[in-house]
Structure 1
Amino acid sequence: MEPHVSTDTATACPTCGAAVTPGARFCEGCGAPLAGTDPSAPVPRHEPDEAGPISRPTNRQRVTAPEPAVRPCAACGGEVGPDLYCTTCGTKAPSPRDHYRESPAPWVAGVCDRGVRHTRNEDAMALFADPTPDGGRAVLVVCDGVSSSADSDTASLAAARAALEVLVPPLPRGLGTADSEDAAAAAVLSRAAAAANAAVIANSDPSSDNPASCTWVAAVLEGGTVRYAGLGDSRAYLLPDDGPGVQLTVDDSLAQELVDAGTPRTDAERSPTAHTIVRWLGLDAPDVRPRVGSARVEGPGWLLVCSDGLWNYASEPQALRAQVDAAGVTDPEGLALALVEWACAQGGRDNVTVALARVGSQWADSEVREDHG
């Protein structure tokens, strides 16, 4: 994720030459530590549990990292220490945070991956689903930490979990009218964004010149309707099996401002500042009220929530639909993994997160049982 808007003059990364903002600890282009940081210093991080889905902490609780499990070094067989370096040969072991998966139900799943070029995974996700899709609810939350900010990997995970806590209960129905129901749902989504923002702040160093920050997008599937909200440029899409797909969310980015001014989307998203965001979560966020909206599910298809690590390579809904078709996978976790692997094969220049829910009446219980035994 690119830095948010700053009046500071950008400098160049000494490793890859990409533009970086003053005070950034890591290069957005290659993930290398920048001048003034100690490459050998351990990076504060939260390690997902190595078995089972990530547990959700109470809102505003600071996320702390459990001790990594003792395991042998893949290079020499020695013991991997708590800092993930082998105590015998010094080889760094992969962190569980680099790649993790969640599948709360057979019809909902997600994959969060470090990508190819970054040295740590600053993306995060948190998912919920009822056991079956027939009348069931699903919640998909994705956050993308801003690489120029401190502790963005920890903060993004805390934000995703905090928002999920707010969105797991059924949405209120308001006073019974469509407008009242929309307003009630929008209020809950706004509370989820506020909870996510509080979690980011709780996991930030207030004395830092670059306090933790991240994007945030959430989608709630309930009763054939998708309610969604976002800040930054992580996105939600609805991709029907038949008919055109749609990008549900609208980016808060300089690229979107170019599009709004009449620049073709392809050109806007190729501009040097395309991924610079103008709204985000964090201590220095100017406004944490999300854009909200809703859409009806008219037939079978996919609800997809992702970070820009995926849509960097397939921004338009039809391009994403083509990759879904090319994967030839109907299992949500298998499809999420296929899309992540495809993004990495295109260069993987950013962290990649893909969360999916199978939507529509044709996703029968028999299909769930067949795909998952």
Structure 2
Amino acid sequence: MGVTGPSRCPSCGEPPEEEGAGCGRCGAGNPAPPDPQARIPDAALGGEAAGRQPATDPRVAGYEAVADAAEQTPVRGTRRCVLCGAGGVDAAGYCPRCGQAQPRERDHMERELEGVGAVSDIGRRHHRNEDFFTVSATALQDGSPAVVAVVCDGVSSATRPDEASAAACEAAGEALLESLPRGVHAQRAMHDAVVVAAAAVNALAGPDDPQEPRRENAPACTFVGAVVGGGLLTVGWVGDSRAYWVPDDRSVPATRLTEDDSWAAQMIAGNLMSEAEAMADERAHAITGWLGADAYEVEPHTRHFQPDGPGVVVVCTDGLWNYAESTEQMASVLPADAHVRPLESARTLVTHALDGGGHDNITVAVVPFPAPAGHAATA
């Protein structure tokens, strides 16, 4: 008879930090977090935008009043509650005055570089954000600018999906920043970046163990990435995260650049169902391709083309495209000036999904084409 181990969290599968306590990792069993409409988003990703003020969130009623109250009670070196303004938020993330849990850094993330803006939001139904993104700027071998955006969506039915999406994004971003300046063609670089990302997610499962095979319910995520540079637009993907091309000239139709690895896509491709029938089926979003140790052989999809004119690439998870699935819908929601205001445009798209229900985590990067000539070589 085996030794009975500690009970595990029903949400994330991790053991509790102490008996009878809520999950210290995902928060399940702890007091309910504040309503998303009462949150002040953290506009920094990984601390890289330190010193910038959080962007005003139009979804937050009384944002200014809460922010002003917080500013009037400065406590050097302590974290302040975003709801009541009290200082001294404890290490577990709870306010000692009002008892409310504080937003986690990943609940709302934003990043802006010249030539790209990205936003990720927890949405209205999930207890944590399992999406992640990375954006960066570099220079190709000939010195011309290039912009990189990678977006990953953790598979909720797997263990540690938030870690999987972060590992994949970071590994792929680093791989692209290493290969593009060396003159590797963007399509080859993207293919190799997906392979590197898959290896990073596989490593989260740990070594194979006959008693606990790592392939059972291993961490997993989907992947989509875009590179704009050298007059080309290159995308790569595995799973059902998507990339759309939306020209500045809205008289020219928008285009979806990716094809889902999903049950619905297989039914449509095999002429077994119409698109409407397949998407209405409860199995529509079941993915047939992903990154993770329990995946079948990973087959990175890549595509590149040379647009006829300026526009933007929208790189997103299904938390957005569920509310703007067709190219026409995506183009209609995207602001007309997205080419010059990518971060504001990404915020608009996220708000559209939240207003539609926000049933999933929402992540989107907006990447203008062509890449701006004036940004720094790396960022």
Which string of whole-angstrom CA distances, capped at 9 and with x for unpartnered residues, describes residues 232-257 of structure 1? 00011111122011111111000111
The alpha-carbon distance between structure 1 residues 50 and 97, as it changes in their structure 2 partners (threshold 3 A), is: same
Partner SS for 2:145: coil
Of 329-338 and 298-307, more deviation after overlay is shown by 329-338
The answer on whether the counterparts of 2:233 and 2:306 sit within 8 Å (CA) in structure 1 is yes
Moved more, 229-238 or 165-174: 165-174
2:255 matches 1:246: yes
**What is the DSSP-based 3-state SS (H/G/I as helix, E as strand, rest coil) of the residue aligned with 2:171?**
helix
Q: 1:327 to 1:41 in 2, by over 3 A?
A: farther
| Match runs of 1:16-35 below 5 Å | 25-26=10-11
In the alignment, does 2:307 pair up with 1:297? yes
1:151 aligns with 2:160: yes
Q: Which residue number corresponds to residue 43 of structure 1?
A: 25
> How many angstroms apart in 2 are the aligned matches of 1:142 and 1:40?
30
Measure, in 2, the Cα distance between the counterparts of 1:115 and 1:294.
31
- Identify if the C-alpha distance between structure 1 residues 211 and 225 changes in structure 2 by more than 3 Å, giving closer, same or farther: same
Could you tell me how far 1:223 is from its partner in structure 2?
Answer: 1.3
Is structure 2 residue 241 aligned with structure 1 residue 234? yes
Pairs within 5 Å for 1:319-330: 319-325=329-335, 330=340
Number of the residue aligned with 1:81: 90
Mark the CA change 1:202 to 1:104 in structure 2 (over 3 Å): closer, same or farther: farther
Distance 1:136 1:80, change over 3 A: same
Q: Tell me how far apart the structure 1 counterparts of residues 158 and 224 of structure 2 sit (CA, whole Å).
A: 19
Partner of 1:204: 205
The answer to whether residue 101 in structure 2 is matched with residue 92 in structure 1 is: yes
Structure 1: state its 5+ residue gaps: 1-22, 27-32, 54-68, 175-183, 369-373
Separation in structure 2 between the aligned mates of residue 87 and residue 205 of structure 1, nearest angstrom: 38
1:304 deviates by 1.1
Aligned counterpart, 2:265: 256
Secondary structure of the residue that 2:180 maps to in structure 1? coil
Letter in 1 for 2:191: S
1:39 Cα shift?
8.3
Q: Distance in 2 between matches of 1:188 and 1:51?
A: 25
Report the identity percentage.
36
Identify the residue that residue 136 of structure 1 maps to in structure 2: 145
Matched, 1:111 2:116: no
Where 2:246 maps in the other structure, the secondary structure is: strand
Alignment partner for residue 281 of structure 1, among 281, 286, 291? 291
Paired AA for residue 357 in structure 1: V
2:351 aligned partner, one-letter code: E
Distance 1:87 1:51 in 2: 29
TM-score by length of 1: 0.74
User: Residues of 2 paired with 1:290 and 1:280: CA distance?
Assistant: 10
CA distance in 2, matches of 1:230, 1:312: 18
Distance of 1:228 and 1:130 partners within structure 2: 17
Measured after TM superposition, the shift of residue 327 of structure 1 is 8.3
SS in 2 for 1:170: helix
Matched, 1:357 2:354: no
Moved more, 197-206 or 266-275: 197-206
Q: Which amino acid aligns with 1:281?
A: L
Greater Cα shift, 92-101 or 208-217: 208-217
In structure 2, relative to structure 1, the CA distance for the partners of 1:299 and 1:281 (3 Å cut) is same
Is the alpha carbon distance of 1:346 and 1:264 closer, same or farther for their aligned partners in structure 2, counting shifts above 3 Å? same
Q: Is the 8 A contact 1:150 1:212 kept in 2?
A: yes
How big is each residue's C-alpha offset from its partner over 1:196-233, in whole Å with a ceiling of 9 and x where there is no partner? 11221233366464221000111111211112111000
**1:330 Cα deviation after fit:** 4.1
CA contact (8 A) 2:94 2:101 kept: yes
Deviates more, 1:113-122 or 1:325-334: 325-334
Tell me the CA shift for residue 259 of structure 1. Answer: 1.5
Aligned to 1:216: 223
Separation in 2 of the partners of 1:351 and 1:185?
29
Number of residue pairs the alignment of both structures matches: 309
SS at 2:334's partner residue?
helix
Equivalence for 1:121: 129
Structure 2 vs 1, CA of residues 154 and 248 (structure 1 numbering), >3 Å: closer, same or farther?
Answer: same
Structure 2 counterparts to residues 338-353 of structure 1, below 5 A: 338-353=348-363
Which residue number in structure 2 is paired with residue 20 of structure 1? none
CA distance, structure 1, for counterparts of residue 361 and residue 337 of structure 2: 20
Q: Distance in 1 between matches of 2:200 and 2:81?
A: 34
Paired residues for 1:49-64 under 5 Å: 49-52=46-49
Measured in 1, the distance between the counterparts of 2:291 and 2:78 equals 35
- C-alpha separation in 1, matches of 2:370 and 2:188: 26
After superposition, the CA RMSD in angstroms is 3.2
Note the C-alpha offset of 1:90.
3.2
